[in-house]
Amino acid sequence: MSELKREHIRALQDAINEAAAWKGSFTDAEQRAEWDLFIATAQEGLNIIKKERKNERVLRLEENRRGIEESEMSMSKFVSQADYWKDRAERAEAQKEKSK
């Protein structure tokens, strides 16, 4: 679904709108019914495309959010380790001062 570009989707929407405008030019009820079916089918296809694109976007956002959370967890772990070693160094320094 991602192969479709926004301009293609807009073009499909424009075509549906134009088809709806042309519907009024048909005088035969059978032709109008066929045209209505054509428009409804095209609109349904467009709705499916839009829904799929939205689902893809939601999945990408979720993947990005997970990646950010993992990065934050890694950074938090790194900071915790750095704090641990800093604390040990300060304790060692304090111990040296006491033994002098």
pLDDT digits (tens, 9 = 90+) for 13-46: 999 998 888 888 888 889 889 999 999 999 999 9
Residue 5, pLDDT > 90, answer no
Burial 46-78 (b: 16+ CB within 10 A, else e): eeebeeeeeeeeeeeeeeeeeeeeeeeeeeeee
Q: What is the pLDDT of residues 41-82, one digit of tens each?
A: 999 999 999 999 899 888 888 888 888 888 877 777 777 888
Mean pLDDT (the chain, rounded):
85
pTM over 0.85: no
> Strands, DSSP E only, in 1-100?
none
> 62 — phi, psi (to 5°)?
-65, -45
The yes-or-no verdict on residue 91 having pLDDT over 90 is: no
CA-nearest of 46, 64, 32 to 4 is 46
Band of the pLDDT at 95, cuts 50, 70, 90? confident
